[in-house]
Amino acid sequence: MRACVVQMNPGADKAANIAAAERLIAAAVAEDRPDLVSLPEMWTSLGGSRETRLRNAEALPSPGGEGGPAYEALRALARRHHLFVHGGSLAEAAEGRLFNTTVMFDRDGSEIARYRKIHLFDIETPDGTGYRESATYGHGQDIVTAPLGTTPLGPLTAGLSICYDVRFPELYLALRRRGATVIFVPSAFTLQTGKDHWEVLLRARAIETQCWIIAAATSGRHEERGEPRFTYGHSLIADPWGQVVAMVPDGPGFATARLDLAAGERIRRNMPSLAHRRLA
């Protein structure tokens, strides 16, 4: 399987963001012919005011139902290019509030998974900038995996996570225990934390779970309540040994890697560390 991470510099203009994603995915398909593409966290609307987030949010449909512009764009991209589309995350309007939610589609444009971000980003960065994601979004509750078909090695299963989740290894071990061999980490990692922690954390999650890590990210400047904010970018794919095999450094773009699933199986067989765990 060939997987592609798409890096974007989204702002608060939802229609422009959707058009940018469509262009980047079309370019990736033409150049790299991936089987799977992954978008960043909040690629449909990053920054702006609370009112902007509410306006750009979508109520996600029941299976088979018709969704909003971003949902239908993802579904159409999967069908048009006949590939799996991991929709990064978008703002989901539900239960009287918002959730930071991933939606994933198979090659026919059918939704195969939906995940709400469990761990919310309520921190202060070293330069004193504060973030309080829980002021806008609710916590997800469920650990979610998605089927990616069957290979000669057996079923291929993806685990879903979003950005700040990466700091909580127990979630990734739970995904691995549920059969995941590929884990998505769409992100809008801050520049302050990203330059020191982004690659380290992703490689650590790959090593300890012995899974492929697919981490599409936002890059560059956006406005947050009138103040400039910067995200780190450096979208990457890491193999189960913890090596980075593809990366987009700065700015919009994409990078593709072939997932050698047999190599992952050899690593897990030769170093069965999950079976050696003595603590829950």
Give residue-wise pLDDT tens across range 3-52. 999 999 999 999 999 999 999 999 999 999 999 999 999 999 998 888 88
Catalytic residues: 41, 117, 163
The mean pLDDT of the chain is 94
Out of 65-79, 96-110, 118-132, 260-274, least confident range: 118-132
In this prediction the pTM is: 0.95
Please state, as a whole number, how many other Cβ atoms lie within 10 Å of the Cβ of residue 26: 13
DSSP strand pairing (219-224 vs 227-232): antiparallel
DSSP-assigned states of every residue in 140-193: P----EEEEEEETTEEEEEEE--GGGGG-HHHHHHHHHTT-SEEE--B--BHHH
Q: Return the percentage of the chain with pLDDT > 70, whole number.
A: 99
How far, in Å, CA of 274 to CA of 145, rounded? 18
Q: How many CB atoms lie within 10 A of CB 80?
A: 14
Confidence class for position 225, pLDDT limits 50, 70, 90: confident
Distance CA 47, CA 221 (A): 10
Q: Is the pLDDT of residue 63 over 80?
A: no
Three-state SS at 131: strand
* Structure token pair of residue 18: 């959707």
Helix (H, G, I), strand (E, B), or coil: what is residue 224?
strand
Q: Are 188 and 46 in contact (CB under 8 A)?
A: yes
Domain ranges of the chain: 2-274
Residue 152, pLDDT score:
67
Closest by CA position to 224, among listed 93, 50, 61: 50
Does the domain at 2-274 match CATH 3.30.390.50? Answer given as no
The pLDDT assigned to 150 comes to: 73
